[in-house]
């Protein structure tokens, strides 16, 4: 037993040292890219697993058509990134193979299909690895249901919390298991600033800080405290504390939910509640997600790789709406606002007002590619 304890204490020392170093790197800051001034932007596209390559292929087709002129002029390059598949990851025993990671780092922004994460074991999720390696600290997820007055945006901390050491817990077999949750001051400050900047620039007046600070006193306690310190720099925007449990209920409380605007939360709560929010909008297949850092940004569907759809031979019927929303967010991020608006408008027409073609994952409805054709035809008519 003592050997286990000694080993755990030793590895805890390493963890604290590493996390302190990470906090130093965050505090040092990084230069933020200005896409309006760049001569060339490289968009990497990686398909992932399951339905990933199917929906991402259509996402790429839409991007190519919207950015045709700039691609032809060499101002934008759309590059395929290979090797982010489960088979390749298992083969090399890494969540992201080295050459794939190098290829990703040579891009500015990335459109990514979902990747499968093996349960248990030590293999980290490719998603989590990418977020860490590219330091994508803000996970931004908008949810809109216009006819119910819902216009939400979630700012989920994306680089720490329960995720950062999720594969490095300790275990005394047959007795206990422990995982760690980490909140750094600098890490909280940057996500809080991102949320309040968004609020300020988009005329929002309320930010809900969602934690469980009554129980997770150190990590969530600090998160909330630091968010309030940042809030003081934003007069005219109120910052309210909420606990995650009641906020989960509030999202399905039709009497009050439309008053919420911007949500600011630590990683795991953000993960859970954004699936709930996406469901209110029509399902996880309908929501896009931006993973934003200072140097890189990655845009993805919020759903998984849907292995069941593949097993049933229905992969080609997957709904690409989520990756299309992600593509629109990518366009907005690189300051291609007009192209982003076109795609967003077309998506609204195709999924809300007209619905002439729908893709639902069922063979009775349209194929992924047919729905993509419909979106592109709609864009052409705008
Ligand atoms: C998400 C996903 C990921 C997460 C998984 C795939 C690692 O659920 O983007 O919300 O837990 O963050
Ligand atoms: Mg999730």
Across 328-341, b (16+ Cβ under 10 Å) vs e yields bbbbbbbebeebbe
pLDDT tens digit sequence for 301-317: 888 999 999 999 999 99
Same domain, 243 and 148: yes
pLDDT 10s digits, 168-198: 999 999 999 999 999 999 999 999 999 999 9
Q: Which of 12-21, 43-52, 299-308 has the lowest mean pLDDT?
A: 299-308
Query: Is residue 33 included in any domain, yes or no?
Result: no
Assess whether pLDDT exceeds 70 at residue 262: yes
User: What's the CA-to-centroid distance between 275 and ligand 2, angstroms?
Assistant: 6
pLDDT of residue 120 exceeding 70, the answer is no
Q: Looking at the structure, tell me whether residues 199 and 340 fall in a common domain.
A: no
- Does residue 247 fall inside a structural domain? yes
- Residue 167: pLDDT band with limits 50, 70, 90: confident
Pair 8, 170: CB distance under 8 Å: yes
- Give the distance (Å) from ligand 2 centre to CA of residue 271: 4
Domain final position from 245, 277, 309: 277
- pTM of the predicted structure, to 2 decimals: 0.92
For 74, the domain range is 38-136+293-382
Co-location of 258 and 166 in the same domain:
yes
Whether residue 66 sits in one domain with residue 126: yes
164 lines ligand 1 (CB under 6 A): no
Q: How far is it, in rounded angstroms, from Cα 295 to Cα 116?
A: 26
Shared domain check, 154 and 22: yes
Number of compact structural domains in the chain? 2
Q: Are 154 and 55 members of one domain?
A: no
In a domain, 287, yes or no: no
pLDDT digits (tens, 9 = 90+) for 17-33: 999 999 999 999 988 89
Report residues near ion ligand 2: CB below 5 Å. Answer: 271
Does residue 141 have a pLDDT over 70? yes
Q: In Å, how far from its chain's centre is CA 350?
A: 24
Q: 129 and 49, same structural domain?
A: yes
Q: Tokens at residue 248, please? A: 């989960």
Q: Give dist(CA 77, CA 250) in Å, integer.
A: 43
């Amino acid at each position: 037993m003592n050997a286990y304890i000694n080993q755990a204490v030793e590895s805890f020392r390493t963890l604290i040292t590493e996390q302190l170093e990470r906090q130093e790197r965050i505090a040092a800051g990084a230069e933020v890219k200005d896409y309006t001034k760049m001569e060339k932007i490289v968009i990497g596209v990686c398909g992932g697993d399951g339905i990933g390559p199917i929906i991402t292929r259509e996402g790429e087709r839409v991007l190519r058509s919207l950015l045709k002129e700039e691609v032809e002029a060499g101002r934008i390059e759309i590059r395929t990134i290979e090797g982010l598949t489960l088979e390749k990851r298992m083969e090399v025993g890494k969540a992201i193979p080295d050459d794939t990671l190098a290829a990703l780092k040579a891009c500015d922004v990335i459109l990514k299909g979902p990747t499968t994460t093996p349960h248990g074991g030590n293999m980290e999720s490719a998603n989590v690895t990418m977020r860490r390696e590219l330091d994508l600290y803000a996970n931004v997820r908008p949810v809109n249901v216009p006819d119910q007055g819902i216009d939400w945006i979630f700012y989920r901390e994306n680089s720490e919390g329960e995720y950062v050491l999720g594969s490095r817990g300790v275990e005394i077999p047959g007795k206990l298991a422990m995982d760690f949750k980490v909140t750094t001051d600098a890490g909280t400050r940057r996500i809080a600033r991102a949320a309040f900047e968004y609020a300020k620039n988009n005329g929002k007046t309320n930010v809900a800080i969602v934690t469980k600070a009554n129980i997770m006193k150190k990590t969530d306690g600090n998160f909330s405290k630091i968010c309030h310190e940042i809030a003081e720099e934003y007069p005219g925007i109120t910052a309210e504390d909420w606990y995650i449990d009641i906020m989960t209920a509030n999202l399905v409380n039709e009497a009050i939910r439309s008053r919420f605007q911007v949500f600011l939360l630590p990683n795991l709560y953000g993960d859970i509640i954004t699936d709930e929010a996406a469901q209110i909008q029509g399902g996880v297949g309908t929501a896009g997600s931006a993973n934003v850092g200072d140097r890189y940004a990655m845009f993805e569907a919020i759903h998984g790789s849907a292995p069941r759809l593949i097993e049933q031979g229905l992969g080609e019927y997957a709904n690409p709406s989520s990756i299309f929303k992600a593509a629109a967010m990518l366009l907005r991020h690189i300051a291609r606002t007009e192209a982003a608006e076109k795609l967003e408008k077309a998506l609204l027409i195709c999924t809300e007002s007209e619905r002439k073609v729908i893709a639902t994952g069922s063979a009775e409805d349209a194929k992924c590619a047919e729905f993509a054709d419909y979106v592109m035809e709609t864009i052409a008519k705008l």
